[in-house]
Structure 1
Amino acid sequence: MAQSNSRKMTAIPRPPRRPPVAHFERTHGRSLPVVEEQSAGGLVLKIENGRPLVAVIARRNRAGKIEWCLPKGHIEPNESAEIAAIREIAEETGITGKVVIPLADIDYWFSSLDRRVHKIVYHFLLEYVSGEITVENDPDQEAEDAAWYPLKEVANILAYPNERRVVSIAMQLLYPDAYVADDRYGDYA
């Protein structure tokens, strides 16, 4: 068989990953630094009159629109994801929870004007312990509102599909025999 002049296709091994400070990505003709971030939060469950409720917060997105989401925030240096989840939920909602079990890690990318961000958010199932739901003590004032919402219906108001999947995972864990697949939850239903 004659060998053609076309380039031979072979698998090329990926180079080792560079530290975030040295890693740049080309975007619109310029290089942006890539930054790694980690956050933690989750689904705080409270039973009231036999009905499971979930704590949710309302934030404004970049376009200024209100979006409902699960409470979460940055992990501080030397802080575990579990401790960060408890702290961030308390700061954003005024309530204290106790971690029961990890639910899911959400891994995604986004860009700002000066950088690309690779973010991992660790979500936990937490049991409500104490406190009144409020955003009054949110140090960053990111949360504009906080509320208890019925677990069965919370997926209807959450802005992000990944968080709806977190709810789906919690539903499957809490009610394995009663849970019925629902298209709102994506592949995890």
Structure 2
Amino acid sequence: MLFRNCAGGVVFSDDKVLLLRNEKSEWILPKGVIRNRDLSCDVAIDRVKEETGIDAEIVSSVGDTCYEFFSISRQKPVCNEINWYLMKALHEDCVLNEELDFIDVGFFKIDKALDMITYSQDKSLVHLSYNKFKSLVVEEMMV
């Protein structure tokens, strides 16, 4: 089995979350493989920008997820462990990166996004991250 360390962002703009639709029509979150000695936080910021055109800043870490799949191109199982970061978008001007085989990108209201997201693990991550985001934003406004 091939093990890969990855990093990604759960990016919010007010009450909306950033989602991508891949070539399999799955609604997912931006993420990528950590290469060389790159820091996971830098990879998360870079992948959000590269995949969606969104500039975002990290607010907090939100945990890790792990999933396995069979890679047809590699002809072996792959295990991705992803470090997730809660992020705040600096704008909402998405730019679809078709070179990476994405077919749609955008910010979606949380209720709609939770219905759209393909994987239950990602739904849980977005739900928990949004609660954390709301509490951090309220704290920020009170300071």
Normalising by the smaller structure, the TM-score range is 0.7 to 0.9
- Whether 1:43 and 2:10 are equivalent positions in the alignment is yes
Q: AA paired with 1:54?
A: V
The alpha carbon displacement at 1:150 in A equals 0.8
Question: Contact between 1:134 and 1:145, CA under 8 Å: does it hold in 2?
Answer: no
Question: Contact between 1:58 and 1:144, CA under 8 Å: does it hold in 2?
Answer: yes
**Cα distance between partner residues in 2 of 1:67 and 1:118:** 18
Q: Which runs of 5+ in 1 are unaligned?
A: 1-33, 177-189
Which structure exhibits the higher relative contact order, with contacts defined as CA atoms closer than 8 Å and separated by 6 or more residues? 2
2:52 counterpart residue number: 93
**Aligned 1:29-178 pairs, distance under 5 A:** 34-47=1-14, 52-61=15-24, 66-113=25-72, 114-130=75-91, 132-136=93-97, 140-175=99-134
**Cα distance between partner residues in 1 of 2:12 and 2:48:** 12
The alpha carbon displacement at 1:109 in A equals 1.6
Q: Per-residue CA shift, 1:21-50, capped at 9, x if unaligned?
A: xxxxxxxxxxxxx11112111211113xxx
Q: For residues 141 and 153 of structure 1, do their structure 2 counterparts lie closer, same or farther at Cα, with a shift above 3 Å needed?
A: same
The alpha carbon displacement at 1:131 in A equals 6.2
Q: Per-residue CA shift, 1:71-107, capped at 9, x if unaligned?
A: 1111121111111000001001001111111112111
**Cα distance between partner residues in 1 of 2:78 and 2:133:** 33
The alpha carbon displacement at 1:171 in A equals 2.9
Question: Contact between 1:42 and 1:125, CA under 8 Å: does it hold in 2?
Answer: yes
Q: Per-residue CA shift, 1:132-151, capped at 9, x if unaligned?
A: 20114x6x422211111012
Q: Secondary structure at the match of 1:89?
A: helix
The alpha carbon displacement at 1:120 in A equals 0.2
The root-mean-square deviation of aligned C-alpha atoms, in Å, is 1.7
Q: Per-residue CA shift, 1:128-183, capped at 9, x if unaligned?
A: 124620114x6x4222111110123311100011100111211332346xxxxxxx
Q: Secondary structure at the match of 1:88?
A: helix
Q: Which has the higher helix share?
A: 2
* Identity in percent: 22
**Cα distance between partner residues in 2 of 1:127 and 1:112:** 32
**Cα distance between partner residues in 2 of 1:131 and 1:53:** 10
What's the TM-score once normalised by structure 1's chain length?
0.65
The alpha carbon displacement at 1:118 in A equals 1.7
Question: Contact between 2:11 and 2:18, CA under 8 Å: does it hold in 1?
Answer: yes
Question: Contact between 2:13 and 2:92, CA under 8 Å: does it hold in 1?
Answer: no
Q: AA paired with 2:77?
A: R
